[in-house]
Amino acid sequence: MKLSSRATNLTVIVVAVSAAFGAGYTTRANQYPDHWRWPENGSPMVPLTRTADGNVLVQANAQKGTRTYKPDLKPYETLDEVRRAIKENFVKTKVDDTEITYGAIRGMLRSLGDRFTRYLTPEDYNEFLTSNKGEFTGIGARIDVRDDYAGGPLAKPWGASRPYIVEPIAGGPAAKAGLKRGDVLLAIDGKTTADLGEDATVAYIRGTRGTPVKLKIERKLNSPKNPKDTKYDVFDIDLNRDVIEMHPVDLEWLPGNIAWLKLDEFNEKTDVEVGAALKKVVAGNGGAPAKGLIFDMRDNPGGLLNAAVDVGSRFIQSGPIVLTHERTGQERSYDAEKDRFMNLKIPITVLVDRYSASAAEIVTGALKDKNKATIIGESTFGKASVQVLVDLKNGGALVITTAKYLTPLKHDISDKGIVPDILVQTSPEDEKTGRGAVLQRAVDFINGKSNPTGTITAKADIPENG
């Protein structure tokens, strides 16, 4: 095509588009004369914006003096103006007021720069309160989400996140039905779980006691060198929801009369169960005195501050368990409660990892600073802040950071965590069953064996029911 012909065609197209725009604008201006108009002294070639009340304004780079604004407008008035602008102008006509309000709240909280200050919807708040009480109605399984999951053919779309069972809770419907650690949930009551978050998954699974829930499960059958050779079993299973009591404490005796006390979280039941377990440790294993205690707080995300002080008081007779630095600059000491002191006279080790946080770090820091235990494992998470709950009228709540906490020797562990006395790399068996290199190092320490590197291979895993 000749250049002159292309130029002619381009001119025709431009004229046609301009005519169409002009006709469209004229039609809209006739229909809505108050909303569609050129700004005073403005050029018809200047790009337009429209305010929430329908007034057309030139863009910021246009002629000065045409913008109208109120510099003394209150922030909440701007927020409402934005909400109205969205409702009246956004391309999707159905905009949920609740969702955009929740989004605005979360945006306000994010602006504080504190990842632990957050908003709980009414549903989230109920879940939070239930978990702290130590019981709920569901299938009896701890759930987490695996990112970028690529399973068998029925797990499409590959690469989506999928919820999976971290651990069935003993005596619950999931455990009774034979569900296993690592089982992946592909669907809940026919709804795909692709990219379904942990909270949403839990919400779908929980419900009224005795009601059914249908799960589609994918179970990995082998672990070949070539991932293409992996085999999966996919099956449906019907479970009836039941009341599940969460027991955060588990006590087991290891060979050599070493007590292994595992603590999963700090809820309202924690101190009572820790106290009962420690009484058994004092009594010994079948009459034989305990040689030592392994206090395992790996994967413990924390929980209630008062529960942490109560548990710390089991090992510490007096003085501070934790200090808090308040927003006013004042320091507050949470001291040991003497009536809880157990006076254990055996070697104590504490196991931690990068997931040990909050209340678990409070207890670990107190035991370390007071020289009451030897800390073994990985550096902890580093959450050194205290939050309070503010109830909202809609049934939700704000979780607001009000103070920073310090260990008894005033160490600030924010984003650094607590460095163990003996660093041990977590082994695959530690992650799978807890009976790997870290636990073996604790056993060796109590038995008086030394290891200068602090690193144990997973070949020395602790047997079950030994």
Read off the pTM: 0.69
Q: Does the pLDDT of residue 458 top 70, yes or no?
A: no
- Write the pLDDT tens digit of every residue in 177-219: 999 988 999 999 999 999 887 778 888 998 889 999 999 999 9
Q: Which helix (H) or strand (E) holds 201?
A: helix 198-205
For the chain, the average pLDDT equals: 84
Beta-carbon contacts of 406 under 8 Å, excluding residues fewer than 6 positions away, are: 322, 323, 324, 325, 331, 384, 412
369 is known as an active-site residue: yes
H or E stretch at 331: strand 331-335
Query: What pLDDT is attached to residue 72?
Result: 75
Q: Are residues 217 and 340 in the same domain?
A: no
Q: Is residue 122 part of a domain?
A: no
Average pLDDT over every residue of 332-340: 97
pLDDT at residue 14, rounded to an integer: 41
- For this structure, is 318 an active site residue? no
Residue 358 confidence (pLDDT) above 80:
yes
Query: Would you say residue 129 lies in a domain?
Result: no
Number of domains in the chain: 4
- Contact between 267 and 307 under an 8 Å Cβ cutoff? The reply is yes
pLDDT at 18 (0 to 100): 46
* 37-47 pLDDT tens trace: 444 444 444 44
Residue 22 pLDDT greater than 70, yes or no: no
Query: Could you read off the pLDDT of 382-422 as tens digits, one per residue?
Result: 999 999 999 999 999 999 999 999 999 999 999 899 999 99
| pLDDT recorded at residue 125 | 87
Give the CB-side neighbour count of residue 70, counting CA atoms within 13 A: 7
Query: In this model, does residue 290 exceed pLDDT 60?
Result: yes
Is residue 345 within 8 Å of 392, Cβ to Cβ?
no
Q: Give the DSSP letter of residue 395.
A: S
| Phi, psi of 408, rounded to the nearest 5 degrees | -55, -30
Q: Of 220, 217, 222, 203, which is closest to residue 136 (Cα–Cα)?
A: 203
Structural domain ending residue among the three candidates 245, 267, 294: 245
Are both 271 and 300 inside the same structural domain?
A: yes
Q: Are residues 232 and 292 in the same domain?
A: no
* 88 or 54, which is more confident: 88
Using one digit for the tens of pLDDT, what is the confidence trace for 238-287?
999 999 888 899 999 999 999 999 999 999 999 999 999 999 999 999 98
Looking at 180, 211, 245, the residue that finishes a domain is: 245
* Token code pair at residue 321: 């368990």
Do residue 206 and residue 325 come from a single domain?
no
At which of 43, 74, 95 does a domain end? 95
Catalytic residue from among 358, 368, 427, 461 = 358
Structural domain harbouring 2:
1-29
Instruction: Select which of 264, 369, 430, 461 is catalytic.
Output: 369
SS3 280: helix
Do 266 and 380 sit in the same domain of this protein?
Answer: yes
Catalytic residue chosen out of the listed positions 271, 353, 383, 461: 383
Q: Are residues 17 and 151 in the same domain?
A: no
Q: What is the CATH number of the domain that holds 165?
A: 2.30.42.10
**pLDDT at site 46:** 42
383 and 421 in one domain? Answer: yes
What residues contact residue 34 under an 8 Å CB cut-off, 6+ apart? 54
Listed in order, strand segments (DSSP E) in 121-241 are: 135-138, 141-146, 162-168, 184-188, 191-192, 212-220, 232-240
Residue 300 inside a domain? The answer is: yes
Active site residue 358: yes
